[in-house]
Amino acid sequence: GAVVSQHPSRVICKSGTSVKIECRSLDFQATTMFWYRQFPKQSLMLMATSNEGSKATYEQGVEKDKFLINHASLTLSTLTVTSAHPEDSSFYICSARTGYSSYEQYFGPGTRLTVT
């Protein structure tokens, strides 16, 4: 099956700093990537959808200036949490799909962000 990787798997940063999370599709071209966040014992909440070469579409309530998403190539998307605060601490999971009519989304292993 298709493989999606995320880096780093865990990151701890100080309040006020920025953190970048990378999401890569290893053996397929991802025309669409999704970023989700998950709080403890909660479900995955979609943050944004990005198509390669286009600006990301953010879900209601997600600050686009705080969560910068770049999908510059068909195999890489990045999420940058700017000026991180403790309330941004969460589990961030990316997902990739090969095309508009693709049957499945493939998920990365997630990144645990802790802001101190």
Footprint on this chain of other proteins (rule: CB under 8 A): 1, 6, 32, 34, 36, 41-46, 49, 51, 91, 93, 95, 100, 103-110, 112
Minimal distance in Å, beta carbon 93 to other proteins?
A: 6
Minimal distance in Å, beta carbon 83 to other proteins?
A: 26
- Cβ proximity to other proteins: between 14 and 41 the closer is 41
Which of helix, strand or coil describes residue 3? coil
Cα separation of 64 and 57, whole Å? Answer: 9
Token pair in block for residue 97: 């799909």
Per DSSP, which regions of the chain are E strands? Answer: 4-7, 10-13, 19-25, 32-38, 44-51, 57-58, 67-73, 76-81, 90-97, 106-107, 111-115
- Cβ proximity to other proteins: between 76 and 82 the closer is 76
- Cβ proximity to other proteins: between 33 and 115 the closer is 33
Minimal distance in Å, beta carbon 97 to other proteins?
A: 8
Cα separation of 74 and 49, whole Å? Answer: 14
- Cβ proximity to other proteins: between 4 and 115 the closer is 4
